[in-house]
Structure 1
Amino acid sequence: MQKPTEQFSRPEVPWNSKDCKANYPDILVPLLKHNGPISSQLTKGRILEIQNDTERSLINPEAEISLVDAQILALQQKRQELIQQATPGWMTLDACKKALAPIRNIPLEIFLEIVLYALPSQSYPTLNHAPISLSHVCRDWRKALLNFPRAWQELFLEVDVSELPVSLYLHFDHDGCRWHEGGVEGFDDIVARFLKGISSLFPRIRHLGLSADQVLDCLRFLTKSEFSTLDSLMLHMNKPTSLADYSSYVMETIDVTGDSYIFAFQKLLNLRKLVLDDPASFHGPGRRMFPWAQLTDLDFGRQISGPGLIRLLKLCPQLRKGSFHLSEEDVESDDELSVDDSDDEEEAKPVHHNLEDLRVYVHDEGIRVNWCFEACRFPGLRLLHLSHDHEFVDVGRGGEVGQDFPPEFSSLQVLSVNGNWSESPEPLQQLFTAAASVTKLAVMVDLDTLSILKMLTYGYCSSTSGQWLEEDLDLYASEQEPQLIMPNLSFLTLVVYAISDNELPEILKWLESMLTSRTTGDQFNLPHHLQKFRLLSRSWDDTVFRKIQSLLDCYSGFDFRVGGMRNLHREAPTTCGEWKVGINHRMSRREVACANQRMGWAVYDINNDPDHSLVQFPGY
């Protein structure tokens, strides 16, 4: 048996001095080969020699690098000289600005203001002449208007096809143009040619508004178009049409032409908002005209009754925001109803889980506040707006003033009230009491300012006999525990008409009491303090304004202001009317600024407030 050392013996490798020269100097090779001692003097001398050789060898590369850097710098300078020689002077930025027309050198925001000033000076300005009127100033202005599509998409063009300017066609042919909204008036061959000329823009339209004497006549020109991005649709009837004539027209159109164009918007997969003017209907053929089931925002201009509201809500299960006009009269025609609508069987009270924002406009005196809540339940309701155009008297079924409010009011967060409550303010107080969870309240009613301030003050108690007695306004509840209506209130907006010098001292007294009771939460066990308060009026006397503002300034740390209120628009415009109101908004803001400058003091303007939720009234 072999030993391990014999089994795995190392092979003999012959010594090669050439391989050692790569790592050791020649003088060290014999010493390392025979494993002899190395002289220290010899080692130091050799090391110094190696260092000197290394330093001398580095001198040449550094010199070469410096030379190359100098050559690169010279080439870069030469390149810049060649570029300057090859580039003409008109291509430089400063030269371009000098060569452009003055209208091209101003920011787009200022350009839009110039377009706004070009509007007609009539009381209700339209956009028929702007920015088209500016295109007639000169050639430079015309080119600027046609090449700035953003200037056009900020404005709504209410096109009268009988006097269609040529520059409008040129603008529509521009590749960068994007329509924000389109309006068409008339229904003849010119409309067909006009729509055909701009048909390439239809796939990019997000908001479409059609306004005509008989708006359904315009639909036939849109049957072959694709509105893949259409998000909102508005149909406006210029001339009043009775429901019978409207229904007859729809049926005759279907009999003559079929349903090829009357249901042009039925398959719009992206349509979410629909604005229908009176007398557009959702019964019979109207049920198939629009994709009701996918709508999330509906503004229905036709007055409907309670049963009609139920049927409409059943068609729109995804609705989150709804605006309805309620009438006691049932204006629905039996001939208009389809087979499904004519079913008179009693059904259980429907529940609409998705509706969060409800705006109700009452047009009859006999309709009570919670009439729509008796027709349907809204467990997810968070914002409620109540408005009526008559002297409101809330009469219950038993003939008594006042009523029990549904449980939806206990979960409201935002409430706005608009209308005439001067005949019976008692229901207004009951409404405020029922909406105990409201955090934002906006009130614009025909009721004296003093009554509203007392109603919102801690400890106030009104008469329980159904009569609004003047002596009750000055009483605190002695027989029952003091109460504070809407204890969670954080934002309050009161819109008043005019405050005279005679009633100012009493108003200041109760205004201070109301604000004190809502800002000292520890004393009255309030869950929330009043953080923002706005007292607004359409017209202010200088003395009245200063005294109220002085009182509000005493509440440091709170956002309390007194200011002006104008019928202005702040929502995203998606209809013809909203575009025009938006222009009035901007023009009125200038009027407020000019008035402030003349009077020497600045009036707070609610329309300039960044918090848009402080006012929840339609058109404001």
Structure 2
Amino acid sequence: MLDLLEADRAFVAENEAQILDLEAQITARQRWIDLLRDAQRAAKQRLSSYKYPVLTLPNEILGEIFMHFLPPYPDPPPLVGNLSPICLTHVCRRWRDVACKTPSLWRAIELHPSVHRLSNLGETLSLIAKWSARSGHSPLSIRMECRRQFDPISIFTSLIPHRARWEHLNLNFGSGSYIQTLDIDRPMPLLRSLTLTVWDAVGTPLPLLEVPLLRTVVINDQGSPSLVLPWSQLTSLTLRRTHPGACLSILREASQLLECRLHLWSQRTPLGGGAVVLPRLESLVFERDSEVCREFFESLVTPALRRLELPEAFLRPHDVETLKAYISKSGCTLQSLRVTALASLIQQILYRMAFRSIPTITFCE
């Protein structure tokens, strides 16, 4: 019996000692946990009071950074999608506020519903309204390709109230009939450049009269009969797929040109009409797939010409002599000559020997 009592006392004493030891360990660890919780609270407090460097930037600098997210103006970003400025409004509230209040982010608008996968006309018109409102009073750059299934008239009409702000206009119409319904002949006081592609000229040409700042025009053969343009005030002109006779008629009026790029379309009839003098023209480029028209080239007189690019076929059969005669007739001092569609190495050597006074001569097969 005594042995059993002694064993009970030993058992109780052992467990009481273990409990005391565990309580001591718990107390020690609790102090350590409390220290850890204090460190955790301090870290949370430091984090909550920390501001990321980008969030400390003034709104003006943040807006300038946003501008580098976009293509250089006047090229437009996508209306929707990953590269649209709309993406900037989805990052945080501050970015949204800054983006929506930075008019230059919204001043270049591309309207190409099939590319942007816009589901319906209503969505397109809603986006146009948002972009137009966010652009404030900034000049606008508009690029539009008409597609019948998206009612191009309605889309373009939504931009007409902002016509006074149009600075760069790039229109690709399947039919010239669209032009007749767009009030494009009204004043556009800020318009500096116009690109017009029309594949079917229809109706009476509309005059563009009140465009005092217009200096650059890119237009194709069906576009030029659709509008009456102030050719005499232009300094840069690109004519695409245009007959030589029509080109000469336009160039006779465009006496202030500094740059000219031509894509000639074949014409069998003689040109006539005498020489066309372009007294200020500095750069003349014939696109390499232009139809051969030596008579057209020889009709031009360009005393200020500095840069010339043309297909070798324009100068045949006596290419070097033809070019020498042209330079002599114009009295120009070329600084750059580029001859395209020239594969013969011997011909290249002949050009370099004949025109040693031209600093830069290049060739392209």
Asked whether the two chains share a fold, i.e. TM above 0.5, the reply is yes
| Inter-partner Cα distance in structure 2 for 1:430 and 1:101 | 64
Per the alignment, residue 385 of structure 1 pairs with 309
The answer to whether the Cα contact below 8 Å between 1:280 and 1:302 also exists between their aligned partners in 2 is: no
| Inter-partner Cα distance in structure 2 for 1:376 and 1:316 | 12
Does residue 1:324 correspond to 2:262, yes or no? yes
| Inter-partner Cα distance in structure 2 for 1:165 and 1:347 | 49
Residue 323 of structure 1 deviates from its aligned partner by 0.8
Residue 367 of structure 1 deviates from its aligned partner by 5.1
Q: SS of the residue aligned with 2:276?
A: coil
More displaced, 204-213 or 407-416? 407-416
| Inter-partner Cα distance in structure 2 for 1:413 and 1:142 | 52
Match of 2:126 among 139, 147, 166: 166
The letter of the residue matching 1:294 is Q
| Inter-partner Cα distance in structure 2 for 1:219 and 1:96 | 56
TM-score (norm 2): 0.65
| Inter-partner Cα distance in structure 2 for 1:115 and 1:351 | 41
| Inter-partner Cα distance in structure 2 for 1:311 and 1:223 | 23
Residue 417 of structure 1 deviates from its aligned partner by 1.7
Per the alignment, residue 212 of structure 2 pairs with 269
Per the alignment, residue 186 of structure 1 pairs with 146
**Aligned pair in 2 of structure 1 residues 401, 214: CA closer, same or farther (>3 Å)?**
closer
**Aligned pair in 2 of structure 1 residues 167, 346: CA closer, same or farther (>3 Å)?**
closer
Instruction: Map Cα deviations across residues 213-235 of structure 1 (whole Å, 9 max, x no partner).
Output: 23550452234743112121111
Match of 1:408 among 327, 335, 338: 327
Q: SS of the residue aligned with 1:353?
A: coil
Instruction: Map Cα deviations across residues 552-593 of structure 1 (whole Å, 9 max, x no partner).
Output: xxxxxxxxxxxxxxxxxxxxxxxxxxxxxxxxxxxxxxxxxx
**Aligned pair in 2 of structure 1 residues 362, 420: CA closer, same or farther (>3 Å)?**
closer
Per the alignment, residue 194 of structure 2 pairs with 233
The letter of the residue matching 2:364 is V
Residue 179 of structure 1 deviates from its aligned partner by 3.7
Per the alignment, residue 376 of structure 1 pairs with 300
**Aligned pair in 2 of structure 1 residues 166, 104: CA closer, same or farther (>3 Å)?**
farther
The answer to whether the Cα contact below 8 Å between 1:178 and 1:201 also exists between their aligned partners in 2 is: no
**Aligned pair in 2 of structure 1 residues 179, 229: CA closer, same or farther (>3 Å)?**
closer
Residue 108 of structure 1 deviates from its aligned partner by 3.4
The answer to whether the Cα contact below 8 Å between 2:263 and 2:287 also exists between their aligned partners in 1 is: yes
**Aligned pair in 2 of structure 1 residues 147, 264: CA closer, same or farther (>3 Å)?**
farther
The answer to whether the Cα contact below 8 Å between 1:349 and 1:376 also exists between their aligned partners in 2 is: yes
Does residue 1:445 correspond to 2:350, yes or no? no
Residue 414 of structure 1 deviates from its aligned partner by 2.7
More displaced, 295-304 or 198-207? 198-207
TM-score (norm 1): 0.41
**Aligned pair in 2 of structure 1 residues 425, 143: CA closer, same or farther (>3 Å)?**
same
Instruction: Map Cα deviations across residues 78-118 of structure 1 (whole Å, 9 max, x no partner).
Output: xxxxxxxxxxxxxxxx99999x79895863343234457xx
Does residue 1:157 correspond to 2:118, yes or no? no
**Aligned pair in 2 of structure 1 residues 104, 358: CA closer, same or farther (>3 Å)?**
same
| Inter-partner Cα distance in structure 1 for 2:60 and 2:156 | 34
The answer to whether the Cα contact below 8 Å between 1:215 and 1:236 also exists between their aligned partners in 2 is: no
| Inter-partner Cα distance in structure 2 for 1:295 and 1:407 | 24
Q: Percent sequence identity over matched residues?
A: 21
Does residue 1:299 correspond to 2:231, yes or no? no
The answer to whether the Cα contact below 8 Å between 2:63 and 2:99 also exists between their aligned partners in 1 is: no
C-alpha RMSD of matched pairs (Å) = 4.1
Match of 2:275 among 346, 349, 353: 349
The letter of the residue matching 2:321 is Q
**Aligned pair in 2 of structure 1 residues 229, 145: CA closer, same or farther (>3 Å)?**
same
The letter of the residue matching 2:267 is D
Does residue 1:428 correspond to 2:348, yes or no? yes
Does residue 1:108 correspond to 2:63, yes or no? yes
Gaps of 5+ in 2: 1-48, 114-119
The answer to whether the Cα contact below 8 Å between 2:169 and 2:194 also exists between their aligned partners in 1 is: yes
Match of 2:172 among 201, 211, 219: 211
